[in-house]
Amino acid sequence: MLVGSNPEHAHPVIGMQVRQAVARGAKLIVVDPRDTGLALKADIHLKLKPGTNVAFANGMMNVFIEEGLINQQFIDERTENFEAMKETVKAYTPEKVAEICNISADDLRAAARLYATADKAPIMYCLGVTEHHTGTEGVMSMSNMAMMVGKLGRPGCGVNPIRGQNNVQGACDMGAQPNTFPGYQKVTNPDVMEKFEKAWGVTLNHNEGTKATDCFPKMLTGELKGLFIFGEDPVRTDPNTHHVIKCLEALDFFVIDELFMTETAKLADVILPGRSYAEKEGTFSNTERRVQRVRKAVEIAGDTKLDTEIFTEIMNRMGYAQPHLTAAEIMDEIASVTPSFAGISHERLDSEEVGGKGLQWPCTSKEHPGTPIMHVGKFSRGLGYFRPAEYVPSMEIPDEEYPLIMMTGRILYHYNACAMTDKTEGINQLAGESFIELNTEDANALGIQDGDKVTVASRRGEIVSQARVSGKTNKGECWMPFHYVEGGANWLTSDALDSISSTPEYKVCTVKVAKACSCCQ
């Protein structure tokens, strides 16, 4: 079951593997508002309205219960709060969900039966689930579905996030969040805090930090006066670009560690030249928690430094004596303070024992083989907790002035903020400019033909793009890639945030589209 993900474009290796599995006879359910390549190969495609993932999941669970498809033994032995979950989803009949999601009630029933009765059925999801103001509840709802039919802690099952960028998993694992140390050890846990203070020989701040997207309004109020960004281009990738620029310009001091002169780097007071993945030693962690070695491949001329060298120099100059450590020594320190990484080292990853395949955390000792499947036998919290969620509509609803729902996403040819891919001539010949996918009925009503230049406006801005007219999206819905600066979708997107994770609602903003004037043609 592929939910809110188009891996053939955004994650082409996984996309290829899914395609191959379908060719071998695997059944495929796609839950996505667009006719993607894999949706066209799916046994069932639920082409749901953007922002209705929670309603869809509740409808699936309603069918599980009504048709006796639940795994009662798994629920009794391994979960809690099922009765509250049952009560919540009672109201989400297939007919009600069909109305909310703009799908067929019969297709919803068929998808529920296919998923529940399969011996092995992983859920894979991506930003089409998380990038909503109810994105966290959307992910929890996927987990509720899997628990209800006993598809966790078993081979070929689980709820699997396909990460938005390379090594997002590794960054999260290493504590690149405002409330955790490496290995998801909580800042608010006194024992954890005591351990890290002892290891590092300093008194640490015991308060949780600020999530990245929550930093921007604090720049305008003056609560946040300085910022250090490395390897990120929020002017291109964050929602409501006008607002992002205004916030960054309000800072007293802004420094960036970067490889290229990105749109964000142009606003920095100081640019520190960093190095790419090919110029350093280290590890990447993939979506299955597999920690893999990355080895230095090239030497380049110029005055660049490793990120770790930059951090170390700053620490020393700010008064904290920090020796320069190799990547292997840093991994050894990680292992010494992170139980789930205790058995992982560069030496072991490079050994014949591992054979280049990496190790999957938790890997709790030097003898531990790693953990291919999480939650076998029991969950990390003991019992799995059913977390009911009600469907809440998106923050922006179409109206007379802005009648279309716009979604954003990625295309195969460009990577994220285009820091590298838009410098490649061949790629630009294939995908050199912004475009917007319009439904044929909407385009006809607006007098727009395929290939026309159009203006696209939201409550936050206006851009010029090129129309691509088809039935890929439903009537009343449109889609844009976010990669481009000229005609970039994020000049339009909403900075409404998920109340739990502070993830922006990229996937739903309302817009109006019109044929561009002759001067824009």
**Residue whose pair of structure tokens reads 């929020």 in the numeric block:** 234
Q: What is the pLDDT of residue 373?
A: 92
Residue 510 CA from chain centroid, whole number: 22
Chain segment 497-506, per-residue pLDDT in tens: 777 777 777 7
Q: How many CB atoms lie within 10 A of CB 194?
A: 11
Chain segment 106-145, per-residue pLDDT in tens: 999 999 999 999 999 999 988 888 777 887 888 899 999 9
Beta strands 453-457; 462-470: pairing state: antiparallel
Q: What is the pLDDT of residue 133?
A: 80
CA dist 104 to 197, 198, 380, Å?
A: 56, 59, 37
Q: Which residues contact 29 (CB under 8 A, 6 or more apart)?
A: 1, 2, 42, 43, 44, 45, 46, 111, 114, 115
Mean pLDDT for 487-512 is: 81
CA dihedral in degrees (19, 24, 28, 33; nearest 10)?
20
Give the burial string for 469-506 (b: 16+ CB within 10 Å, else e).
beebbbeebbbbbbbbbebbbbbbbbbbbbeebbbbbb
Q: What is the pLDDT of residue 302?
A: 87
Mean pLDDT, the chain, rounded, equals 91
Q: Is the dihedral of CA 199, 328, 370, 130 positive or negative?
A: positive
Beta strands 453-457; 384-385: pairing state: unpaired
**Using CA atoms, how far apart are residues 240 and 489, in angstroms rounded to an integer?**
9
Q: What is the pLDDT of residue 30?
A: 96
Q: What is the pLDDT of residue 36?
A: 92
Q: Band of the pLDDT at 482, cuts 50, 70, 90?
A: confident
**Using CA atoms, how far apart are residues 258 and 184, in angstroms rounded to an integer?**
27
Chain segment 145-175, per-residue pLDDT in tens: 999 999 999 999 999 988 877 888 999 999 9
Q: What is the pLDDT of residue 290?
A: 94
Structure tokens at 211: 């999530």
Q: Which residues contact 181 (CB under 8 A, 6 or more apart)?
A: 175, 187, 192, 196, 337, 338
**Using CA atoms, how far apart are residues 234 and 249, in angstroms rounded to an integer?**
13
